[in-house]
């Protein structure tokens, strides 16, 4: 097994453990909503500290249900991942193109650099 394969396997194991261990250990069982987001946790903490607190701003759009809110969040995450993947793919493609151009101009007798191709 190569070094990269071992690293990838360890990373996959770590991510799986991070996802499964909270469920197996029962973390959050004492709460009404055990795995609520950070926003909900912050709102709960604020209302416990200062019950009369009034937010400074209100949301521009309030989704009709939690499912719609989750879907919009997933769409936002997917779009962000797509933009990042496009950027890194474009960067890698440009770098590979530059490397090919350098090898083609530096060694005209190398295989694949003839007019006939490979």
Q: How far apart are CA 36 and CA 28, in angstroms?
A: 9
Statement: residue 102 has pLDDT above 80:
yes
Q: Are 53 and 46 in contact (CB under 8 A)?
A: yes
67 — alpha (psi -120 to 50), left (phi > 0) or beta?
alpha
**pLDDT band for position 70 (50/70/90)?**
confident
Q: What is the chain's mean pLDDT, rounded?
A: 85
Statement: residue 116 has pLDDT above 60:
no
State the sign of the Cα–Cα–Cα–Cα dihedral 38, 44, 46, 49: negative
Statement: residue 34 has pLDDT above 80:
no
Q: How many CB atoms lie under 10 A from the CB of residue 44?
A: 13
Q: Which residue has the tokens 């009404």?
A: 32
Q: Are 38 and 44 in contact (CB under 8 A)?
A: no
Q: How far apart are CA 54 and CA 105, in angstroms?
A: 67
Domain locations along the chain: 3-58
Statement: residue 108 has pLDDT above 80:
no
């Amino acid at each position: 097994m190569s070094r990269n394969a071992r690293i990838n396997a360890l990373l996959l194991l770590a991510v799986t453990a991070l996802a499964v261990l909270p469920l197996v250990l029962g973390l959050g069982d004492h709460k009404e909503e055990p795995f609520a987001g950070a926003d909900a946790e912050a709102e709960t903490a604020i209302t416990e500290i200062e019950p009369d607190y009034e937010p400074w701003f209100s949301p521009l759009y309030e989704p009709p249900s939690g499912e719609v809110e989750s879907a919009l969040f997933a769409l936002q995450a997917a779009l962000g991942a797509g933009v990042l993947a496009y950027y890194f793919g474009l960067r890698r493609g440009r770098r590979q193109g530059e490397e090919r151009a350098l090898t083609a101009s530096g060694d005209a007798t190398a295989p694949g650099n003839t007019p006939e191709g490979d």
